[in-house]
């Protein structure tokens, strides 16, 4: 929790992945997990916003750690 991550893939159904991208979460997006909730749910921070994702959805978003921004 708190570590910087970069979204590398979204394995949701096409329509859901598209809506997620419209909401601001897409390949290349920087994020970090702010909270772990019940049943695997996650809250992630992206560009000042907080997104709640259920466990199943969070598991289908691929990320990689970001070690350096500049």
Partner 1 sequence: MSCHGPALAPVVGHSRVTMPAASSAAVRVLLVGGPNVGKSTLFNALTGARQHTTNAPGTTVELATGTWRTGGRGTGGRGLPGQGAASSATERAIVDLPGTYSLLARSADEQVTADAVQELGAGFGEGGRQQGVVVVVLDATALARSLYLLAQVAETGVPLVVALTMLDLSAAATDSPTATMAPEALAAALAASLGVPVVPVDSRNRTDGGLRRLAHAVDAVADHPRRVTGIAAPDVASCDHGHEIAHAEVLFSWVEQVASALTPEPASAAPGQRLPSPGWHGRQTFSDRLDTVLLNPWAGIPVFLAVVWLLFELTTAFAAPLQSAIGQLVNGPLASAVTWALGQFGLADGWLQGLLVDGLLVGVGTVATFLPVMAVMFAALGVLEDSGYLARAAFVADRAMRSLGLDGRALLPLIVGFGCNLPALAATRTLPHARQRLLTGLLIPLTSCSARLTVYVLLAGAFFPDHAGTVIFAMYLSSVLLVLGAGLLLRRTAFRDVRSGPLMLVLPPYQRPHLRTLGMSVRLRVEAFVLRAGKIIVVTMIIVWALMAVPVTGSHPVGHVPVGDSLYYKVASGIAPVFTPAGFGNDHAAAALMTGFVAKEVVVGSFAQSYSVAEPGTPTRAASLGERLRASFGDSSDGHGGAAAMAFMVFLLAYTPCVAALAEQRRLFGWRPTASALAAQLAGAWVLAVLVFQVGSRL
The footprint of partner 1 (CB under 8 A) covers: 2, 4, 6-7, 12, 14-16, 18-32, 34-39, 41, 43, 45-54, 56-57, 60, 69-70
Distances (CA, A) of 34 to 11, 14, 25, 69: 22, 26, 15, 19
For the bound state, the minimum distance from the C-beta of residue 20 to partner 1, rounded and expressed in Å, comes to 6
Question: How far apart are alpha carbons 70 and 58 in whole angstroms?
Answer: 27
Q: How far apart are CA 65 and CA 52, in angstroms?
A: 20
Closest separation between CB of residue 56 and partner 1, Å? 7
In the complex, minimum distance from the CB of residue 62 to partner 1, in angstroms, rounded to a whole number:
14
């Amino acid at each position: 929790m708190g570590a910087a991550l970069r979204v590398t893939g979204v394995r949701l159904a096409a329509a859901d992945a598209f809506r997620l991208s419209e909401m601001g979460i897409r390949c290349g997006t920087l994020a970090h997990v702010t909270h772990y909730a019940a049943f695997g749910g996650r809250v992630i921070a992206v560009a000042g916003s907080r997104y709640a994702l259920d466990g199943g959805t969070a598991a289908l978003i691929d990320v990689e750690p970001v070690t350096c921004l500049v």
